[in-house]
Structure 1
Amino acid sequence: MAVLELDDVRLAYEDRGDGDPVVLVCGCGQPAISWDLGIAQGLLEAGFRVVTFDNRGVAPSSSPPAPYTIDQMVGDTLGLLDHLGIERTRLVGYSMGGWIAETICARHPERVEAAAFVGSCNESTSWEKAIGTVELAIARSGVELPRLFYATETLRYLPNSELQDDASMDAWLGMIGDLEVWPNPGREGQYAACLEWTLDQERTQAWPSLPQPVLVLAFEHDVDSPPARAREAAARIPNARFVEIAEASHLAPMTHARPVAAELVKFFRS
């Protein structure tokens, strides 16, 4: 893994493949290595050059003092593109990464060939506003969190049917139940960026002016970006295509990585 030193942050990244570039932008708290559960490989096998990186606040990238903003992470992403000599790229943004991708599409359209907004493109829901408020308050409180906090924060995004399946839960907890809680200042920093975006009532005004081909990729059981809301958003983007993956939740880039990769490849090849 390579490292790029920017003004106030150190970004860890990987650059693989030799084809047309695709830059994958992580969601809130997402480690870039999770793209290797199938999405990065699917794009590499399709002949694309794939760039992944950890956003500020997630190791092994550095965690500057909180709070962060989406605009700061847009700057980080553009700084990485400049460093790699990528003048124009295909973008994939998942969850918070979709908000970063949206902003780049709107403010720097010359840098984006096409973009996929994955589990991210919708008018903010009441749930998003509530959980974002709570997450940031907990991060700022300094309270010591139990070891299982990270696992439960993550697994609540699974479909209810899977949460009620003890065998499935035992398997998940066996994998991530002992992981350390995401530390500050990265946790507080990214949660602050997410809540600011969620509460911004003007951000959706950019949708009708996005010039790029856009894939709005939604998941049947996604509580953060419900498919109905994502479909409504896609209808407001001139060159958008809406796709919903059945039986998947907000964690689809991890649990349904190959179907997600297949949709990305189909879209970027078109």
Structure 2
Amino acid sequence: MPWLAVGYKRLHYTDFAPTDSSHPRETFILHHGLGSSQNFYIPLVPALTAAGFRVVAFDTTGAARSPYTQVEQSIDTLAADVLGILDHLSIPRAVVIGHSMGGIVAAHLAAEHAERVVAAVLIGPVYPSSQVTAVFEKRIAAVEAENAMDAMANSIPAAATAASASSLARAMIRELLLAQSPAGYVSNCRVIAAARPPAYPHVKVPTLLLAGEEDKSAPLESTKRMYEELGAESKRLVVLPKVGHWHAIEAPEAVANAIIEFYNNDVQ
């Protein structure tokens, strides 16, 4: 299995080459959200690699196969992990894609490390606020009370997806949640609870925001606010109908097509 040592962390990653060429048009690096893993993005990979892109997906520290380190993290340290992976793979710049918590990380990278970021794709990005902090403090309490992921696995797949989401999509989300260690999940909850809004006006690279019409975890109102605050001249907000918070699982074709169209029209 492919692993990278980034400082004191051991991160599991997968490096997908473009289907028909050894020379990728661009590299995409994918940062998943809370309670998830690189597998959230796997439904997108065939379309992205067929379009000529190299795709690097990894498990965030404390999530799935990347072990919890006992050291508390932050948006800054998660962003540093992305840069560390790029350095290890000798990738000078990449398109950074982030879902949910990963959307905070991707926006931070675009604002503070623009020299490494070709463009940013924010999928259901969380907008940090006191209300968000309160939500994740409750999640921390629920998981710590049982030292298990069952409460999250039994509620989130239905509560955080669109009404029409398939039972297969919900089963996949349940599996992602059950693959988390309780301590790692709580640690990443703390990252979101302690997060502050990135410097959105400092984001100047082309940016795509993908919002689910039925997303209750990253509501459309907060995504619109983020869109207005972005400093990028080239920016798009795409709303996916009948989609909740797990976009790449609920509507993989729509997500992949939106990313490819954005790159073809706004980035290359």
Q: For this structure pair, what is the TM-score category when the shorter chain's length is used for normalisation?
A: 0.7 to 0.9
After superposition, the Cα gap between the structure-2 partners of 1:123 and 1:3, relative to the gap in structure 1 and judged at 3 Å, is: closer
Deviation at 1:40, TM superposition (A): 1.6
TM-score computed with the length of structure 2 as normaliser: 0.87
CA distance in 1, matches of 2:130, 2:259: 26
Matched, 1:29 2:35: yes
Match in the other structure for 2:228: 235
Equivalent in the alignment of 1:62: 67
Secondary structure of the residue aligned to 1:217 is strand
Say which of 47, 63, 67 aligns to 1:42. Answer: 47
- CA distance 1:146–1:136, shift in 2 (3 Å): closer
Counterpart residue identity of residue 216, structure 2: V
Moved beyond 6 Å, runs of 4+ = none
Q: CA deviation at 1:144?
A: 4.4
- Could you tell me the percent identity over the aligned residues? 26
* CA spacing shift, 1:171–1:121, aligned 2, 3 Å: closer
Whole-Å separation in 2 of the counterparts to 1:123 and 1:9: 26
Matching residue's letter, 2:157: T
Is 1:208 the counterpart of 2:201? The answer is yes
Please, what is the CA RMSD of the aligned residues? 2.5
Q: What is the match of residue 133 of structure 1?
A: 137
Asked if 1:11 is matched to 2:11, the reply is yes
The CA distance in 2 between the partners of 1:33 and 1:238, in whole Å, is: 31
Of 73, 77, 99, the match for 2:78 = 73
Deviation at 1:59, TM superposition (A): 2.5
Aligned equivalent of 2:114: 109
CA distance in 2 between counterparts of 1:5 and 1:170 reads: 34
How much has 1:157 moved relative to structure 2?
A: 0.3
Q: Following TM superposition, by how much is the alpha carbon of 1:7 offset from its aligned partner in structure 2, in angstroms? A: 1.7
Q: Could you tell me whether the CA contact under 8 Å between 2:149 and 2:178 is conserved in 1?
A: no
Tell me the residue number matched to 1:268: 263
The Cα offsets for residues 99-135 of structure 1, whole Å up to 9 and x where unpaired, read as 1111111111100011111100546373x33321101
Relative to structure 1, the CA distance from residue 170 to residue 114 in structure 2 (aligned partners, 3 Å threshold; closer, same or farther) is closer
Structure 1 CA distance, aligned partners of 2:173 and 2:59?
A: 21
Residues in 2 aligned to 1:111 and 1:220: alpha-carbon distance in whole angstroms:
31
**TM-score scaled by length of structure 1:** 0.86
Q: Unpaired runs of 5+ in structure 1? A: none
Count residues in correspondence.
257
Indicate the residue corresponding to 2:20 in structure 1.
none
Unaligned runs of 5+ in 2: 18-22
Residue 145 (structure 1) shift: 4.2
